[in-house]
Copies of this chain bind each other. A is one copy, B any other.
Amino acid sequence: MDIEIIGRLKKICGDDFVVSDLSKIGNYLYDETEEYLKPEACTDVVVVKPKDASEISEIVKYANEILMPVIPRGGGTGLNGAVIPDRPGIILSMERLSKDIEVDGKNLMVIADSGVTLAQLNDELKKTKGLFFPIHPGDEGAQLGGMVAENAGGVSAVKHGIMRNHVKGLEVVLPTGEIVTLGGKLIKNNTGYDLLHMMVGSEGTLGIITKVILKLYAKQNHTGTLLVSFDSRQDASDTVPAILQSGITPLAIEYVEKNVIEEAARHMGLVWPAKEGIVDLMIILEEGTENDLFAKSEAIVEIAEKFNAVDSIIAETAKDQRNILQIRSNVYTAFIEHAIDGMDISVPPASVPYFVRDLDEIAAKYNTTLPCVGHIGDGNIHNFVMKENGEKPSWFEDIRLDIYKAAMKYGGAITAEHGTGKTRKSYMPLQYTAREIEIMKGVKRAFDPNGILNPGTIVDL
């Protein structure tokens, strides 16, 4: 990286907070994208660690002068390569914007620096009288700003929705350098076009989030986990709307195929407690009283029995619940080392059994397996494309295309929660028309006329 650029950045942020030595920037080049998918990082980059929005504004204004890409980087827990630099540029690490975090109990909101991690937020909330923030992606090292930029999801979308539903305000440094506040401690705001919602899920391409205002809720203290087993995917799937229509909204309704979850348990030296059937629903309840928890657990078992459930297990102790959750959480770890892609498709929830049947057919066509788990309550299925003899198979691109096309039959989405980034971008034309992508480019230009902010992510200008 040009010595003049480094000098100018040091002038803005101080010598200690500009890193260009290749031996020290390794941790800033990649995120958690699967090995086989990630683009190779460009190493002609400089890492800057600004302390606030004002320094970021100066950096961005300078970047516009010299037309140098700026790549905002949060916790690096993303799965789509959005923060992997694919060309020379300035990596803007948000790690120092992690000091301020203020819980506003009267408005049931928190205002925090965007570099605050989810772990930090949850620690802070433990000090309150039972306030909590409901969104929880896999990794608590995720930063709040990154969670907004990626519109994080997770298992609890059935009850709590996704990140978008809980973002009320943002401080943003625009790609042209202005610092603006979008929304606020507001539940309702209908003035003008909603730039706040444009920012959610924009993956660092439309602005750099420097503060977040998130909605908080009263914690429901009684949680329970049920496993309900079925001999048929259709029965398992049909049970889901019957539960929701009965007025019960679980925190999560997870879909696990027995062979997949048993493999994940073996991998941990544990045993999956539900033995019967070929597929389980794992249902997590979160209720205000113990009575509600029991009543709803029983009601769910009754409903499942109407749909031919062959077994039901109610995990009552904290230890039993933790055991089940750990095995479910370990599916990713158990499979990803033998996989080359962990996909992230969404379909209408009721289409899940048809989509899973399609996965079987596609697997047979390529003489492989496509193990999957998923958030069936919200139609989000994660399936793995497996290696062949430990290597990337020759049909890797073909099978992914078949899988995406299968999802499109049901009006599905290429990515439900991981985001488009750099790794899913080329599949966008399967889901969107040329005119829609053209409009997206126009939106990008409206925010970022010089295209300096995280280029190569979501759309190419």
Q: A residues bordering B, Cβ < 8 Å? A: 104-109, 129-131, 150-151, 153, 157-158, 161-162, 164-165, 169, 174, 176, 178, 180-182, 184-195, 197-198, 200-202, 206, 218-220, 238, 241, 244-249, 288, 346-351, 375, 377-380, 411-420, 424, 428, 431-433, 435-437, 439-447, 458-459
- Given the contacts A247-B218, A446-B439, A417 and B190 also touching, CB distance less than 8 Å: yes
CA distance A424 to B431 in the complex (A): 36
The answer to whether B195 touches A440, judged by C-beta atoms less than 8 angstroms apart, is yes
Main secondary structure of the interface of A (DSSP, over half): loop
The answer to whether A191 touches B433, judged by C-beta atoms less than 8 angstroms apart, is no
- Kindly list 7 other residue pairs between chains A and B, CB separation below 8 angstroms, not including A186-B416, A188-B417, A220-B247: A107-B348, A150-B190, A164-B197, A186-B412, A192-B437, A193-B201, A439-B446
Q: Which residues of B contact A440 (CB under 8 A)?
A: 192-193, 195
- Given the contacts A186-B413, A187-B378, A439-B447, A218 and B202 also touching, CB distance less than 8 Å: no
Q: A192: shortest Cβ distance to chain B, in Å?
A: 5
* 28 A-B contact pairs sorted by A residue (CB < 8 Å): A106-B350, A107-B241, A107-B349, A107-B350, A130-B247, A153-B190, A176-B435, A181-B411, A184-B411, A184-B413, A185-B348, A185-B411, A186-B346, A186-B348, A187-B380, A188-B413, A189-B416, A190-B417, A192-B436, A192-B440, A193-B459, A195-B439, A195-B440, A197-B200, A218-B248, A439-B446, A442-B443, A442-B445
The answer to whether B197 touches A197, judged by C-beta atoms less than 8 angstroms apart, is yes
- Given the contacts A105-B245, A190-B420, A220-B247, A442 and B431 also touching, CB distance less than 8 Å: no
The answer to whether B378 touches A413, judged by C-beta atoms less than 8 angstroms apart, is no
Identify which of B157, B180, B193, B419 contacts A433 (C-beta below 8 A). B180
